[in-house]
Structure 1
């Protein structure tokens, strides 16, 4: 399969999902980018929940993300808190209302219904192939992977058997290592 054919499939798939997400979001006064911000914040770790990380992950400008965050705060869907160590940095998190709404809207119903009609084997194969494609796109374009912490080269074990990040030199929780991180680098 050549890249043109693959692009056509991916573009169509993206448009179908975006349309379904737009329909779901409109019912709640939300644009797709606002749902994307909420979704990202629901899967990232505490080192990646900043406005800058959101901009990097979504490939959006700081201005767009800043306005999106303001709207989500006004709607009571996310909270901003100042970093204890560096007052210039803010961390973002979903409110209970934001989490509840996101659980209802993402993944979009269209995708959930389609996946329900596929075998477990087909879902696994598609997931694996899409993961390979995403990683190839990121690597060939020098972009950050935003991978799951436990697959990172910096992830290690502390003396007490817990998890430890060798990049930031801090202990990690079980929750941290199951989330995506903007500092992720694939283990060798």
Structure 2
């Protein structure tokens, strides 16, 4: 029989997160997928805030994500902005209400408390989970969606940073945002 310990722990933590979300008064009008989409949009960069990127990140169908994004827009939590270069493309942005909601809910207080109790072990846990995720993404050939500053294209300059893929300067905060074009530093060019 295969050892299911890692799966069991991850599944239990995911179950606790879903149960926590259902109990939140702020979540009364939101489906879990909508919270996931909002959280992604709060954390992604300017290259990654499109409906297609949300679909790829969540790993769901275009129709499901499209309906969720329409609901979020109707609730005033996101807005669409046409792309400056390609008017057929749109970018999604959180409204002030959407940003406030995410800041109130993510990360859950119980997770922060557990991280504090773990102390220095929490850093090791984060490192191991990042490595686990990167390994799965490589093995399953799924998009990386990593933090900009950890990408092989991220270049530090004397003043700021540059995306080596697009050749564009990056704002200081963009290094901490999720990018759909992320590539691990050890991946072949």
Q: Is the pair's TM-score, using the shorter chain for normalization, greater than 0.5?
A: yes
Q: Deviations over 1:40-64 (max 9, x none)?
A: 0111000000000001111011111
The corresponding residue for 2:130 is: 131
Alignment gaps of 5+ in structure 1: none
Deviant stretches of 4+, over 3 Å: 25-28
Residues 24-53 of structure 1 deviation map (CA, whole Å, 9 limit, x = unaligned): 266441111111001001110000000000
Contact 2:45–2:179 (CA under 8 A) maintained in structure 1: yes
Q: Measure, in 1, the Cα distance between the counterparts of 2:5 and 2:81.
A: 45
Deviations, residues 95-124 of structure 1 (Å, cap 9, x unaligned):
1111111111122233233334x1321211
Distance 1:154 1:120 in 2: 32
Q: Distance in 2 between matches of 1:187 and 1:115?
A: 28
CA contact (8 A) 1:24 1:108 kept: no
Structure 2 alignment gaps of length 5 or more:
none
Question: Residue 65 of structure 2 aligns with which residue?
Answer: 65
Cα 1:17/1:87, change in 2 over 3 Å: same
TM-score by length of 1: 0.91
Q: 2:46 and 2:131 mapped to 1: Cα distance?
A: 26
C-alpha distance in 2 between matches for 1:182 and 1:11: 25
In the alignment, is residue 151 of structure 1 matched against residue 160 of structure 2? no
Show the counterpart of 2:169: 171
By how many angstroms is 1:143 displaced? 1.2
Distance 2:133 2:156 in 1: 28
Aligned 8 A contact 2:26 2:101 in 1: no
Contact 2:78 2:98 in 1 (8 A): yes
- Greater CA deviation, 72-81 or 103-112? 103-112
Query: Once the 2 structures are TM-superposed, how far is the Cα of residue 183 of structure 1 from its aligned partner?
Result: 0.2
Work out the number of aligned pairs and report it.
185
Task: Give the direction of change, closer, same or farther, for the CA distance of 1:152–1:27 in structure 2 (3 Å limit).
Answer: closer
Quick check: 1:44–1:180 contact (8 Å CA) kept in 2? yes
Matches within 5 A, 1:113-124: 113-116=113-116, 118-124=117-123
Q: TM-score, normalised by structure 2?
A: 0.90
The root-mean-square deviation of aligned C-alpha atoms, in Å, is: 1.8
